Structure 1
Amino acid sequence: MDFSGKVVIVTGGSSGIGAATAKLFASAGALLTIVGRNEQRLLEVAGKCKEFQGNQPLCILLDLTLDGSCEEVIRKTVETHGKIDVLVNSAGQILCTSIFDNTMENFDELIAIKLRVPYKITQLCVPHLKKTRGNVVNVIAAPMRVLPGFLTSSMIRDAMERFTKAAGLELATEGIRMNAVRPGITRTNMLADLNIHNINETYDKIAQMLPSKVIIEPEEIARMILFVASDTCPNLNAANLILDGAASVF
């Protein structure tokens, strides 16, 4: 797939699926804006992208949940690249929540980064995507059993699925597509962020509970994202595409 001359914004581009996606877009010739909160990881990803395409990606180090941050991403991207063709909403984080929590802090933080930010930055992109007949790809965790301690994450998964369908329907009138790629258990920084030690051993145990007995690599998810964002299937819209090795069939 060739993205030469296309301008792509990847949120959450400093690690995991977002980093893999940025690198793959770069290898396909895209001009990139990479957004992340970890400076070291962000610069490392940018360096790899530059090796692929010869151009330095626009790196934006910020917290997208802060007021004005989404506006800054759009403004800097258009100032630097002149347009926007693709938005990949992959920013997120892992926090445990329960109805028994005595605080709303984790709930509010997850809602902000995984629901409000995709809504806001997509809204801001619409005038630019209308000009390029571009598209949006949301990265949402695949459907799975409800697990204790992940109440808010479960709620957000369903909300983002409906967002993809409803907004995809509305945006179709403007020539803009919106789809979701929904990965299953993927080898990212998730376990480290949960302060889990013996990460490889933990992944091995998780794999044994999956139909495929395999943990998905972020590069495979990235390939799916590029396919969805490409012009290969121009009528693919408002779709939620699950890539989880049949885990959600359970």
Structure 2
Amino acid sequence: MTLEGARERRVRTGGVELSVAELGDPGRPTVVLVHGYPDSKEVWSEVATRLAGRFHVVLYDVRGHGRSTAPRPLRGGFTLEKLTDDFLAVVDAVSPDRPVHLVGHDWGSVQSWEFVAVRRTEGRIASFTSMSGPSLDHFGHWIKKRMRRPTPRRAGQLLGQGARSWYVYLLHTPALPELMWRGPLGSRWPEMLRRAEKIAAGDYPAPTLPSDAAHGAWLYRDNVRPRVRHPRADAYAHAPVQLITPLEDQFLSQRLYDELEGWVPQLTRRTLPAGHWIPRTRPDQVASWIGEFVTSVEGGDPAPAANGPYADRFGGQLVLVTGAGSGIGRATALAFARAGARVVAVDRDPRSAAGTAEQARLHGAPEAWAEQADVSDEQAMEKLAERVVANHGVVDVLVNNAGIGLSGSFFDTTAEDWRTVLDVNLWGVLHSCRLFGKQMAERGQGGHIVNVASAAAYQPSRTLPAYSTSKAAVLMLSECLRAELADQDIGVTAICPGFVHTNITSTARFTGVDAEEEKRRQKRATRLYGLRGYPPEKVAAAILRAVVRNQPVVPVTPEAHALRLVSRFAPSALRMMARWEARL
């Protein structure tokens, strides 16, 4: 396993020898990661490295998988009781004096439900995070309830999950799964995963995949039918549980967890728009939620719970906002924070960025960081993109908000004025889209780019030629990118605010006038925008809504909507309006 600094050990139990890897400081809380089918512990490599800086992380190959040995005979060697023996042997070896925080995915989660609900593990498990794997006991009761009291809705749920579970029936057939996995399926599985789940190549799957999958078929044969037919009545969790549900899981219905509160006294629910293999496709988000949950259970000081709109949509996602030090940028960063997103606040003023990051944590962001960068500086943006992906992962939502204002006639606007405005308002957006958008595309898991343009993008003005041109270019860039990136599930939105009360008016430049007159015009513009009183928080709300709905162009404020409508159906009217001496 390509885990830098991992310490390997062998643990003997029940006639098998388990391969165990450890990372991080053993003096810190221990997090045990249990893999699913047909995986080995390599499925956790990216999550483990992200957790190792804060926790003692333990991964082990389930019996018959990876570098662990298989029981002999295979039949009856994979029962939940024997898997529980293995788990206890591992935790006794790696954390003999303290309970561990258990994390399971797929069949790792199925068996971990057993661990957290049997008496002999009480006091050994501090918390449990479940991903894409239900308790077989809960599943059995779920089926029985729908069969005893059938309704059209319950019948639909049964049929729906039955269709999703097609592979379970195949795995119960004699010899066929073993032949398929050791034959063509084993060699084609990595490519199938890449296409279906968009999992990038790397140290996963492990070379032992064919034998792992062949042995793992006995997980189903030894456990599914006995437990589903005769589920335990006392399968109650004796530790806090965090449930992470991928909304696009093609194998498990969300309805399986409808009655989970009855089995779990302390339950935290999370959802994310992703497929089944989230330890590989969303390692940064999964690691963030695990870390937050473990810290909370350990009695630390976790971030306030997300309570804003769209918390189910953005919880744990990584959102980067440029120009986040004030105005629309800060309001947007805080709106995503309230939705539970992890926030990177970027601004050329490091103190303003730090202030936004601090507020984001107070507003519900599980993590928030400040980054100083001038968006017009290509090399600075390249270094920013490298730092962000190395330290926090690939950005899920990019908000290009940084911008400056410039007012003055065309002949009063110098070439240097044009360069300054275009460098920030256009090139800043180009740099971010190229760098962070490319990372999204290479990851293959989709994402969203928001470019903050302006109603000036489609409203010509005799006094705003440079500003309007830069924003019109951003609008067209957004439309072009949206067309190019649609096939990669990356949405692109142009936000076009009208008159919004921010500090852009107090910092905007006015050409063709002396310094005293420029200050007077800045104060006048600030006063007028203040009287308009449209807050940046409403623009932020529109940005979150636009990402959820994947909208292409979003005018914000009544005048922006009106101008957009006129630009499409009566452009000559806008040309007449352009002759007025409008102010920024």
Bucket of the pairwise TM-score, normalised by the shorter protein: 0.7 to 0.9
Q: Structure 1 residue aligned with 2:440, among 115, 123, 129?
A: 129
CA shift, 1:202, in A, is 2.6
CA contact (8 A) 2:356 2:370 kept: no
CA contact (8 A) 2:333 2:343 kept: yes
Deviations 1:176-232 (A, max 9, x none): 110111111000002211342266643366x4xxxxxxx3210000001111223xx
For residue 337 of structure 2, what is the aligned residue in structure 1? 26
CA contact (8 A) 1:31 1:81 kept: no
Separation in 1, partners of 2:505, 2:526: 10
Separation in 2, partners of 1:52, 1:204: 25
Q: Structure 2 residue aligned with 1:171, among 470, 479, 485?
A: 485
Give the unaligned 5+ runs of structure 1: 208-214
For residue 116 of structure 1, what is the aligned residue in structure 2? 427
CA shift, 1:145, in A, is 4.3
Separation in 2, partners of 1:71, 1:125: 9
Structure with more relative contact order (C-alpha pairs < 8 Å, separation 6 or more): 1
RMSD of equivalent CA atoms: 2.1
TM-score of the superposition, structure 2-length normalised?
0.39
Q: Structure 2 residue aligned with 1:219, among 537, 540, 549?
A: 537
> One-letter code of the match for 2:528?
T
2:352 pairs with 1:41: yes
How do 1:4-19 residues align onto structure 2 when only pairs under 5 Å count?
4-19=315-330
CA contact (8 A) 2:426 2:471 kept: no
For residue 53 of structure 1, what is the aligned residue in structure 2? 364
CA shift, 1:55, in A, is 4.2
CA contact (8 A) 2:460 2:468 kept: yes
2:554 pairs with 1:241: yes
What is the SS of the residue equivalent to 2:412?
A: coil
Separation in 1, partners of 2:527, 2:412: 29
The structure having more radius of gyration, on CA atoms, is: 2
Deviations 1:65-118 (A, max 9, x none): 123122122111112212210100101011234321363111001111111121
User: How many residues in Structure 1 have an aligned counterpart in Structure 2?
Assistant: 237
For residue 414 of structure 2, what is the aligned residue in structure 1? 103
35 and 92 in structure 1: CA distance in 2 versus 1, 3 angstrom threshold: same
When structure 1 is superposed on structure 2, of 73-82 and 54-63 the one drifting more is 54-63
CA contact (8 A) 2:341 2:365 kept: no
Separation in 2, partners of 1:87, 1:54: 16
Q: Structure 1 residue aligned with 2:495, among 165, 181, 193?
A: 181
For residue 453 of structure 2, what is the aligned residue in structure 1? 140
Identity across matched positions, percent: 27
CA contact (8 A) 2:378 2:431 kept: no
> One-letter code of the match for 2:544?
L
Separation in 2, partners of 1:84, 1:123: 13
Separation in 1, partners of 2:324, 2:413: 32
2:523 pairs with 1:197: yes
What is the SS of the residue equivalent to 2:363?
A: helix
Give the unaligned 5+ runs of structure 2: 1-309, 509-518, 567-584
Separation in 1, partners of 2:499, 2:365: 33
CA contact (8 A) 2:341 2:366 kept: no
For residue 212 of structure 1, what is the aligned residue in structure 2? none
CA shift, 1:165, in A, is 1.0
2:472 pairs with 1:154: no
